[in-house]
Amino acid sequence: MSERDLLMIPGPVNFDPGVLRALSAPTAGHTAPEFVERFGQALEWMKQVFIAPSGMPFVIAGSGTLAMDMAVCNLVEPGDRALALSTGYFSDRMTAILERYGAEVTTLCAAPGDTVPVEQVQTTLERVRPKLFAMTQVDTSTGVAVDVRALTKLARDAAPDALVVVDGVCSVAGMELQQDAWGVDIALTASQKAMGVPPGLALLVASPRALETFKARKKPVANYYGDWTNWLPIMEAYLARKGMYFATPPVNMVYALHESLRQILAEGLEARIARHKKLSDAFKVGVRQIGLAQVPVRAEIAAPTMSAIYFPDGIDSKLIGKIRQRNVVVAGGIHPLIRDKYFRVGHMGVVSPGDISATLAAIEGALLASGYRFDAGAGVAAAETML
């Protein structure tokens, strides 16, 4: 990738220079006072970003998949029932992880671009009475967002004991998630999307109810690195500003997280979420103006952090290379049923109005070069009017 390329894939995204500078600071020892203070502060700020004052934050070296793994391995014991809502590729990964730890999983699959009907979720919750209910706030394979608040409330009424686990990898810090107020037991994410930090951190916040369930386990956790028995004392120690060792923490990644969380809270969560929505709306209007259809079947379930766009008739994935020639990097499809039919654009983190226009201009240029007939310039113009 050229240093002047605009990285508009749905993670990793472009990062703030201050965050990147934090990565290159001299590495302190993991029990040095300056590191202990920054780690403790970052853990407190995690709770603020997840809006989970009662929650227990975990910051672990790894990717989002490790955060998913940790949610499941610490809560599920063989034979436990689980219900997973699938809105695409990443939700299906959650089902695979649940099965790996011996859960009896019921998965409700939505058609690509759609959500599972609420009535079906309700009757299945009542029938299955799961111990764990998992959903993906934004499935990055389809750009479909689910209504976490409504689904969590539904679970509380229909299956009150179910622990609600939300994969927020493509949503946290770019879309509303109020963990405590909505009653979400585990919210998890990764560093490289709206959290604004290069790939390498698994981030998770557990509710008191989730920790109680973990502490009441009958069998040991079948994953050594992810076991909260190892990590809980560490996170508690750093929150209390004490250094403690289980496995060496990624010191510079924690510096970068500290800086990004500072920036997120300085912008303000509401303002940040509103910015993501505005930029997303402008981008999606621009895409529609060019005549391209989107994967989410209704505007109200389209994520504000990314867009999934079908290639028009006669155009295929070679378009992505042509967009790339215009210094904008977008991603191909990943949902197995529609993989070659669409492409994906991420608009999270430090994304700006200029990035939105530049991306639309690159898409328009690539379409023109591919022989697609449309009102050239109309997408950029429509977006600019909204920006």
Which residues are near ligand PMP by CB under 6 A?
11, 63-65, 90, 136, 139-140, 167, 169-170, 190
DSSP H or E segment with residue 7: strand 6-7
Closer CB to ligand PMP, residue 136 or residue 359? 136
Greatest CA separation for the chain: 64
Nearest distance from C-beta of residue 381 to ligand PMP, angstroms: 31
b/e burial code for range 266-287 (CB count within 10 A of at least 16 → b): eeebeebbebbeebbbbbbebb
Closer CB to ligand PMP, residue 338 or residue 387? 338
Of all residues in the shown chain, the one whose CB is closest to ligand PMP is 64
List alpha helices for the chain, DSSP H: 17-23, 33-49, 64-75, 89-100, 118-128, 148-158, 179-182, 208-215, 228-239, 251-267, 269-290, 318-325, 353-369, 378-386
Looking at residue 327, the DSSP 8-state letter turns out to be T
Closer CB to ligand PMP, residue 37 or residue 99? 99
Nearest distance from C-beta of residue 92 to ligand PMP, angstroms: 10
Nearest distance from C-beta of residue 149 to ligand PMP, angstroms: 18
315's CB contacts (< 8 A; 6+ apart) are 367, 370, 372
Closer CB to ligand PMP, residue 62 or residue 243? 62
Q: 26's torsion region: left (phi>0), alpha (psi -120 to 50) or beta?
A: beta
Closer CB to ligand PMP, residue 237 or residue 302? 302
Closer CB to ligand PMP, residue 35 or residue 89? 89
Nearest residue to 307 via CA among 106, 8, 99, 7 = 8
Nearest distance from C-beta of residue 348 to ligand PMP, angstroms: 11
Report yes or no: 384 and 355 within 8 Å, Cβ to Cβ: no
Closer CB to ligand PMP, residue 200 or residue 379? 200
Nearest distance from C-beta of residue 12 to ligand PMP, angstroms: 9
> In angstroms, rounded to a whole number, what is the distance separating the alpha carbons of residues 68 and 66?
5
Nearest distance from C-beta of residue 230 to ligand PMP, angstroms: 20
Report yes or no: 174 and 272 within 8 Å, Cβ to Cβ: yes
Nearest distance from C-beta of residue 60 to ligand PMP, angstroms: 12
